[in-house]
A = this chain, B = another copy of it.
Amino acid sequence: MNHAKQHYDGLTYPKVVVVGGGFAGLEVVRGLANKPFKVLLLDKQNHHCFQPLLYQVATASLGADSIAHPFRRTIGPLPNVAFRMAEVQEVLPERRVVRTNVGEFEYDILVLALGSTTNFFGNQQLAEVAMQLKSISQALDIRSDFLQEFERAMVLREENDLRRCLNFVIVGAGPTGVELAGALAEIRRTVLKREYREMDSELMRIVLIDSNDRVLKNFSEKSSANALRYLQELGVEVQLNTRVAGGDPDHITLADGTVLETNTVIWAAGVKGVLVPGLDKAVNERAHRYTVDRTNQLQGYPGVYALGDIALMEEGDAWPKGHPQVATVAIQQGRHLVANLLRSSNGQAARPFTYLDKGSMAVIGRGRAVVEMGGRSYGGVFAWLLWMLVHVVQLVGFRNRIMVLVNWAWKYLSWKNTIRLIIRPYVREGTAVSRPAALEGEAAPVPHQA
């Protein structure tokens, strides 16, 4: 890493271009603040998104603004950091340039931290019908969607349409799938029961599908068992050892041929790294990530680093197949890279990265969570409180912490998901609305008006 060194000899600061302001990228930007580097952050969004709480935006517990933080709020005061809202289209390593939709930017050091996107494993059919939960707009779409299904259900006459309308299928029982399923199940118990009185809330089904033999497969057996019990207590139908073969707007088909009629499929079954054209030598096709050494430097591209979800680092026997694609890895790799860059600017050698697994947690509902820490697993209310604490502390921005606390206090005292705003038109294909038949003639009677 003597590229930085050279610049010091010339008394100029190295240009560090960071692509992506997720957990890893933001860590790097903050770490290099007021240090002898010229930092430029590029992101196609203007805000950092706290992804672990996206599902709460999708389920009307938090407003989007509570988990998002404008990059300029962080970067504004920093003299040596700039931000540009831009989508990176290509890296030209020989010229040390990144090409974006708003022009080219030079770099001495390139830090790629683009995170991951939903992986449909090539199933185009599903990619078209299923919803995802990787961005704020997707979360808002899911929120609008399930609320619109509820409202649709109130005017449908055919019980079959009604059941399809209220059948929510979530594929993938990792933390995201489990947390979504749990939150929807709580909405059935509270919102649907109380505020859609004319409808039988039991008509709503939440089906959680996974191809593994247990939920939260990266957690301990004990935590998986707890999570499964919590989900079942809340009335989630968990279908394990089950694969989804295909989907249409009004149903999905399982590998064994079973058909589930539904308007709403949420795909949380896998992610893949967001790669950029121009660095092919380092791409690991199978994992869809960049092969990096222990300093996160791309194989064959000096001065180019990949962090977090897109980085595939073999860490000896501990992580022979690379690290899990979670926030803690991204944060630790970001901090480690900063340390190495500062060491190199002092002429010291870089140190290899070692992942410190702080454990993992998932929340299923009020008073129901599982936590893995220090080789032990905890459940119940303690885990739930711990989960809330950890997430509030990690949020970027003091205001966001306040907002989340106020919202949670409100929600858990009032048993209400209040942020139930439908802010976009009902556009999804195949739903009752797009079928003229469902729009004509007499609506389902309003019982108390009959």
Contacts and interface: CB of A to CB of B under 8 A. Distances in A.
A402 B406 contact: yes
B73 A443 contact: no
Contacts of A103: 155, 439-444
B15 A86 contact: no
Interface string A410-447: 10001010111111100000000000000111111011
Contact of A101 (B65, B137, B439, B444): B439
Q: Which of A101, A137, A423, A439 is packed against the most chain B CB atoms within 10 Å? A: A423
A84 B154 contact: yes
A47 B420 contact: yes
Interface string A44-67: 011100000000000000011110
A134 interface: no
Contacts of A154: 84-85
A326 to B, nearest CB: 24
7 contacts: A40-B449, A65-B418, A65-B421, A72-B196, A76-B196, A84-B443, A85-B422
Contacts of A147: 46
A322 interface: no
A403 interface: yes
B422 A46 contact: yes
Interface residues of A, number: 69
A371 interface: no
Contact of A418 (B79, B84, B397, B423): B397
Contact of A446 (B105, B442, B448): B105
A399 B403 contact: no
A75 interface: yes
Contacts of A443: 84, 86, 100, 102-105
Contacts of A105: 443, 446, 449
A3 interface: no
A102 B448 contact: no
A77 interface: yes
Interface in A376-410: 397, 399, 402-403, 406, 410
Nearest to A144: B46
A210 to B, nearest CB: 30
A64 B446 contact: no
Contacts of A82: 198, 446-449
Interface of A: 15, 38, 40, 45-47, 63-66, 68, 70, 72-73, 75-77, 79-80, 82, 84-86, 100-106, 136-137, 140, 147-148, 151, 154-155, 191, 194-198, 397, 399, 402-403, 406, 410, 414, 416, 418-424, 439-444, 446-449
Contacts of A75: 195
A421 B136 CA distance: 10
A446 B84 contact: yes
Given A75-B195, A196-B72, A80 B448 contact: yes
A76 B40 CA distance: 51
Nearest to A68: B421
A255 B68 CA distance: 43
Contacts of A86: 155, 443
A204 to B, nearest CB: 15
A389 B396 CA distance: 30
Given A82-B449, A406-B406, 17 more contacts: A65-B419, A68-B421, A70-B421, A72-B420, A73-B420, A76-B194, A77-B194, A82-B198, A82-B447, A84-B154, A85-B154, A100-B443, A101-B439, A103-B440, A105-B443, A136-B421, A399-B410
Contacts of A195: 70, 72-73, 75-76
Given A102-B155, A147-B46, A137 B439 contact: no
A151 B446 contact: no
A195 B402 CA distance: 22
A176 B439 CA distance: 37
A47 B105 CA distance: 45
A267 to B, nearest CB: 21
A420 B85 CA distance: 13
Given A46-B147, A151-B85, A416 B73 contact: yes
